Structure 1
């Protein structure tokens, strides 16, 4: 995983600082948009959240959701358990094939802000794991910063300061998805945060 945690970026390893920073830039708005426009309309489904962070997405989801969240940061998972311990299963580890073999398949897999931390090989592994985890007809959603021709210069500059070191063009993200999915919808949005920013949303159907 390619991630710059030097200098000022190191403070985001603390769960409370990370959450505050996320709220300041408008992450709650982004989560609201994501759930409203892209998530299943059903009140009951199984969801795997890969790279779930502190699992703040749960504030926007129905209570009868069957939720499993994985994150490599034990600090983030500790905070997720403290806030939402009765609403899901949380694991401080990376998702692996052996783990998925022990689980029932999911209707939805989410990777919010994860792909731009992964190199191409790691990204292809993510798509492989997501496909393995999904039920037939299930959907993977990825959300990441993106470089596109029509974005504001300030948005491009802000994105360039992200901890993730593999921010791509829309075409490059889609190329990764094509390693394991053929039914892919690509959306670029500039309206998900309070600050100038561009997101690439991939919807990959199994």
Structure 2
């Protein structure tokens, strides 16, 4: 669930969404996410749930990339920008959607969990686990409430379009309900104060 009224509604436009993400330091965050958590290997199979405009591809080596998003505008932008780099579909990721697909080395969910209630998160985690090879990983990143965060970060996180921003403990508990191996950390940003929870779940 997300709020798409008022000022938040303009983020549905791909160019404005990308500009806002850049303003918030997304280039540095994506680079860190890929280097420290995704750790891509050329030729690996990657499923990106909620891929947005697929800007993560700017930081990835050649690999087999499947991106899904519910916004046709975002998918159209991804197709325009990254034609030939992967496949992009405007669809809900479900078992039926992935029917017949080989298992993935990595499932990525960037800024997805905080838009979902606990039941929907659990369904996504189960689907991710079933889509992964043995030893495959799910990597997520979402806004996070944390007792040590800057008050400005807490304010900004509270204004996110997603209506299910959680604490680190709450995100971790959801991961542990499905995966046996769960690691994660809260990252405090200083350029524009913000806090993210990054989680790595291994099958």
Structure 1 length-normalised TM: 0.96
How many residues matched?
203
1:155 aligns with 2:153: yes
RMSD value, Cα: 1.0
* Distance in 1 separating the partners of 2:171 and 2:100: 29
* Distance in 2 separating the partners of 1:57 and 1:42: 14
* 1:21 alignment partner in structure 2: 20
CA contact (8 A) 1:50 1:111 kept: yes
* Distance in 2 separating the partners of 1:52 and 1:143: 12
Alignment of 1:18-167 (within 5 A): 18-62=17-61, 64-167=62-165
Gaps of 5+ in 2: none
CA contact (8 A) 1:108 1:139 kept: yes
* 1:203 alignment partner in structure 2: 200
* Distance in 2 separating the partners of 1:84 and 1:186: 30
* 2:187 alignment partner in structure 1: 189
Gaps of 5+ in 1: none
Structure 2 length-normalised TM: 0.97
- Shift of residue 41, structure 1, vs aligned partner: 4.6
* Distance in 2 separating the partners of 1:156 and 1:81: 35
Distance 1:205 1:82, change over 3 A: same
